[in-house]
Structure 1
């Protein structure tokens, strides 16, 4: 890259800041980012978005405002790319409208792209059956309907995955075995960012690629940032990608107010 400035990536946890969860994502970023990449792991302000998960559309609707404000602020700070850290890809298309030259991705779209490059059929292991209807519609909208072997729920909510690692691993492995041995999945996606850290054991046991969606989102954002620097590829602003006029945003006071945009922020510097 001719531009020697570090790549700047934001991994946005779309819930209130969490002393347990954010360091897990920070460790993930530290382990997987390139040396020339600076990563900021951020979360929404807890005083306004006190959710520990957004499993329900109701919660998603409420955090969407916070996500859009965070995206706007990150673009103004000069970030190259931002990953929205929820497998629902919450507010992905909304965020892309107002991201400027900053590229937006999410765990679902990134993981599906990677799985499709590694295999012809993939299965997605999710926490609860509740999630499947919405996630299936999303995966189909990304063009992967024919590649999808199925969804496999393990009866765990977002807040449950990190409580008992042995039990979580047992359930994920059983679901993965069903996907591979019964339904012909050739790779697997873990369908929740809080399933982070379990992919290696499942991969070892089942012998197929297992995509951790948090890693996928971070690396897809980083790759997009590299292409932006090297090839000049920035988001389109034509047709359906058109952004709201700045004059209207100002007239409607869309981003007005002095409430905090971010709660926690952990910076993993370039090295």
Structure 2
């Protein structure tokens, strides 16, 4: 009997006008398994015109849009969803309202993969500003003891795709410091907009380099495979307890308006 396609959503928490959905769609086409349908989505206009969410205040503004999108994806029957920001924005919040859909995000996914490939890894980030928050996220996920450090290249989210040669040069220089001075055995690229650079950096450094967008997509896909084959679904006990539908309806705001501003479907 034929198995129905796995349905994965990669939710870009930026505005649809940011123009990066096509980059993520190309990534999905290259890396998904046959039999997996991937939807690349981004935020509608009423969430704001964010081209990055480097600041906690920006994250706070887009969190409602993420929750609304997760609710919509769960109703559409998606097996798993990846939130496309290395801050793992609203990861725990989204899990509460995701029903039987499994939620992951780039930092937790990348750390899990790096831990399976090495004992010690470094994370290359865009700006020093990001380090405090990302360090807390790595600690929360239980990987702080594996972390050689954070290595910033002084590029904002909007800068990574402007000059590929310069971005590659900076990433390799930061990675070389991690590997040769701090003995990192693997490297994580700590921004989803570093997509497309991992092979170049890996070739230069000679250690595994994890692209966080690919990591999030593949962890979501793997979760969907396990759900399909083993019937494993998220717990809704204790700390994972979901709010009641009646209370969410009474409070309002969870399902109002358009959930997505753009959608690209990568067919199974």
Among 243, 248, 259, the residue aligned to 1:261: 259
Task: Give the whole-Å Cα distance in 2 for the aligned partners of 1:36 and 1:64.
Answer: 31
Task: Give the whole-Å Cα distance in 1 for the aligned partners of 2:251 and 2:12.
Answer: 27
Task: Give the whole-Å Cα distance in 2 for the aligned partners of 1:119 and 1:269.
Answer: 33
Q: CA deviation at 1:249?
A: 1.1
Correspondence for 2:199: 200
Q: Which runs of 4+ in 1 moved over 3 A?
A: none
Q: CA deviation at 1:250?
A: 1.5
Task: Give the whole-Å Cα distance in 1 for the aligned partners of 2:260 and 2:35.
Answer: 24
* Offset from partner CA, 1:69-107 (integer Å, 9 cap, x none): 000000000000000000000000000000000000000
Correspondence for 2:90: 91
Task: Give the whole-Å Cα distance in 2 for the aligned partners of 1:91 and 1:3.
Answer: 35
- Please say if 1:149 is aligned against 2:148: yes
Q: How many residues align?
A: 268
- Please say if 1:71 is aligned against 2:70: yes
- Kept in 2, the 8 Å contact 1:64–1:90? The answer is yes
TM-score with structure 2 setting the length: 0.98
TM-score with structure 1 setting the length: 0.97
Q: CA deviation at 1:20?
A: 3.1
* Offset from partner CA, 1:143-165 (integer Å, 9 cap, x none): 11110000000000000000000
Q: CA deviation at 1:48?
A: 3.0
* Offset from partner CA, 1:149-206 (integer Å, 9 cap, x none): 0000000000000000000000000000000000000000000000000000111111
Aligned with 1:120: secondary structure?
coil
* Offset from partner CA, 1:38-82 (integer Å, 9 cap, x none): 000000013432100000000000000000000000000000000
Runs (5+) with no aligned partner, structure 1: none
Q: CA deviation at 1:256?
A: 4.4
Runs (5+) with no aligned partner, structure 2: none
- Kept in 2, the 8 Å contact 1:3–1:229? The answer is no
Pairwise CA RMSD: 1.0
Task: Give the whole-Å Cα distance in 1 for the aligned partners of 2:60 and 2:69.
Answer: 15
Task: Give the whole-Å Cα distance in 1 for the aligned partners of 2:113 and 2:235.
Answer: 22
Task: Give the whole-Å Cα distance in 1 for the aligned partners of 2:48 and 2:76.
Answer: 22
Correspondence for 2:190: 191
- Kept in 1, the 8 Å contact 2:18–2:51? The answer is no
Within 5 Å, which residues of 2 pair with 1:1-271?
Answer: 4-18=3-17, 20-257=19-256, 259-270=257-268
Task: Give the whole-Å Cα distance in 2 for the aligned partners of 1:220 and 1:26.
Answer: 16
Aligned with 2:86: secondary structure?
coil
* Offset from partner CA, 1:102-137 (integer Å, 9 cap, x none): 000000000000000000000000000000000000
